[in-house]
Amino acid sequence: MAKRKQQNLEIERQLKHRQFVFRIVAIAIAAIIVVATAIGIWTVQDRRWIMRYDGGRVATGDFRVIFERQFENEPAARSAAMTSLQGIVLMIDRAEQHGFQLTAEERAEHDEAERIGREELRQQEGFSRYAYISVERTVDLFHTGPVFERLMNYYVPTYTIDEELFTEIWEEHEANDFHDFWDIQTIFLFLESEDEILEAYALIDTMPFEDLIRQFDVWVDDETVIEPMGLTPDHEIGHGGLLNALRQMMLDPEDEEFLLAMQEGESSHIINVRNMDTFEMNYLIVHVVSRDDDVDLNEIENTLRDALTEIGRRETFHEMVLEWVEEANFRINQRGYDTV
């Protein structure tokens, strides 16, 4: 009897031991599952952030949309895309500090423009390319014009240009680009077919030039308003005007000289230019609607001065933003960076 009792006790002890072992194993397995799940969640969450700075975080989606939309996913531009994003993020922060964010009206306008642009792209491509980032955040990153201007006005309200350098620029501009001060308004017929341009040229003296355009230009109908285009930049500083566009299409210097000499009401001969995409010959006839060579040089000089002052302000503010980037102590999250 005693022996059986002893056997029962041993069996009970072994059962308890096994239960204890099973419990330990179960706990260990559960712990492994919890840790693995936590690591998986942390990995996914961690990849959502591209970088941290001064207690703040920047989403990987921000970098992805900047890299894709502004730099066309060009591998060589990854560093530039990162610097661009950092500058934008810091400008957003500064704007919030000073109360320079988009107004409610501006926000509504830019949100709507972004939604329309996305919908047009979705219809073209058949899918939502930017579904990974909200409209509102995209507006923060790309519709920065008003915010940029307010920050620049705050940090760089004035700029003093180098007067000696300005004098050199003005004298060279006045001597070599004097025709840029003229106001020569033109309309023109632009065709790809040599036969059609010859047919149109034969009819120049038989009808108003606008009617000639309506007859031969398939993109212009009876309801289309034909707006004149300045031959030169129309007193503006920088690029612009029909002449500049034609220069890029390999306009012959003799034809350029002829166009600048045309008077109001005159039509040109057939001018040959190159389509720079296909390098095929294209043709146009230019008609001068109005011409004004009477310019106020003092006004033009002041316009140039204002333009150079504005350029100086923008360059100064740009350098300031780059300094903010250097001082912000950004720390790139390689795990998030590698997902883009």
Q: pLDDT tens-digit profile of 155-203?
A: 999 999 999 999 988 888 777 667 777 889 999 999 999 999 999 999 9
187 and 97 in a common domain: no
Q: Where are the alpha helices (DSSP H) in the chain?
A: 2-47, 60-69, 78-98, 104-125, 135-142, 145-155, 163-176, 194-201, 209-216, 242-248, 253-261, 297-327, 334-337
pLDDT digits (tens, 9 = 90+) for 49-79: 888 887 678 888 899 999 998 888 888 888 8
Residue 200 exposure: Cα atoms within 13 Å on the Cβ side: 30
Q: What is the pLDDT of residue 2?
A: 52
Last residue of a domain, one of 274, 293, 312: 293
Overall domain count for the chain:
2
Q: What is the pLDDT of residues 101-141, one digit of tens each?
A: 899 999 999 999 999 988 988 888 888 888 889 999 999 99
Q: Is the pLDDT of residue 328 over 80?
A: yes
Same domain, 151 and 241: no
Q: Is 79 found in the same domain as 131?
A: yes
Percent of the chain at pLDDT > 90 equals 42
> What φ, ψ does residue 49 adopt, rounded to 5°?
-115, 130
Residues 214 and 140 in one domain: no
Residue 215's SS3 state is: helix
CA 215, CA 276: separation in Å to the nearest integer? 26
Contact, 114 vs 138, CB < 8 A? Answer: yes
CA distance 117 to 124: 11
Tens digits of per-residue pLDDT, 205-241?
999 999 999 999 999 888 888 999 989 875 444 457 8
- 112 lies in which domain range? 26-169+295-340
pLDDT confidence bin for 5, thresholds 50/70/90: low
Assess whether pLDDT exceeds 50 at residue 143.
Answer: yes
Whether residue 10 lies inside any domain: the answer is no
Identify the CATH number of the domain in which residue 143 sits: 1.10.4030
Q: What is the mean pLDDT of residues 283-307?
A: 87
Same domain, 99 and 49: yes
Residue type, 302: N
Closest CA to 297 of 164, 168, 180: 180
Q: Taking the CB of residue 247, how many other CB atoms lie within 10 A of it? A: 14
Confidence at residue 95, expressed as pLDDT on a 0 to 100 scale: 92
Q: How many CB atoms lie within 10 A of CB 132?
A: 11
Check pLDDT > 60 for residue 35.
Answer: no
pLDDT score of 188: 96
The answer to whether 24 and 304 have CB atoms below 8 angstroms apart is no
pLDDT (0 to 100) of residue 332: 83
Same domain assignment for residues 279 and 300: no
Share of the chain above pLDDT 70, in %: 82
Lowest mean pLDDT among 26-35, 91-100, 243-252, 316-325: 26-35
Question: Bigger pLDDT: 18 or 328?
Answer: 328
In a domain, 18, yes or no: no
- Closest by Cα among 135, 144, 155, 142 to 102: 144
Tokens of 137: 């955040």
Nearest CA to 95 among 132, 131, 45, 145?
145
